[in-house]
Structure 1
Amino acid sequence: MEDFAHNLDAEYLWNRRAAIQLRALMNRIYYQERQRIFELREGLVKVIAILCGSLAFARIADPGLVQWCAAVITISSASLAGVRVWYKGER
C-alpha cells in the first residue's frame, strides 16, 4: 500500500515538473518572439528617421515635404519611446 501511495506522489510530482518545464519553455518562446518584433519595429523607425532626416537636411525638397518628414520622425520616435516604456515596465 505504501509503494502505491509513493508511486502516486512520484507520478504527481513528475507530471507537475513536466508542466512547469513546458510553461517555462512557452514563456521563453513568447518573450523571444516579442523581443524580435520590438527590435524589428525599432529598426524600421530608425530607417524612417534616417531617410526622412536626410531628406530634410538635404534641402532638396519643398518646405511642405520637410514638414511631413519631421512629423513622421516625431510620430514614429514617440510611438517607439512609448512602447519601450510600456515593455520595460511590464517585466
Structure 2
Amino acid sequence: MPKSRINKSTAPVSGGGANRVPVKINASGTPLWYKIIMFGLMLAGLAWLVVNYLAGTQIPLMLELGPWNYLIGFSLFILGLLMTMGWR
C-alpha cells in the first residue's frame, strides 16, 4: 500500500490556541468573620443538642421550650453547614 504524503498546510500548528491559564475565582478568600460565625453556629447547635440531651430535664428553659429544643439545635447547626457553601 502506498504511503500518503504530508502537506505542510495540514500539519498541526503549535501556539496561537486559547489561553489555558487557570484563574482563581475568589482570589481574596473568605473573610475571617465569616468563618468565625460559620463555626460558631455549628458549635452552638451541637452544644445546644448535647446539653438538651444530657441535662434537659434539669434546666428550666429546656423544659419550657419542650419539643422546640431539637428544632433550635438542628437549625443552628444546619445554618452553619449551609454557610460552608461559600462566600461570594
Same fold (TM over 0.5): no
Ranked by relative contact order (alpha carbons within 8 Å, sequence separation 6 or more), the top structure is 2
Q: Which protein is bigger by CA-based radius of gyration?
A: 2
Q: TM-score range by the shorter chain?
A: 0.3 to 0.5
Taking structure 2 as the reference length, what is the TM-score of the superposition? Answer: 0.45
Task: Looking at secondary structure, tell me which structure has more helix per residue.
Answer: 1
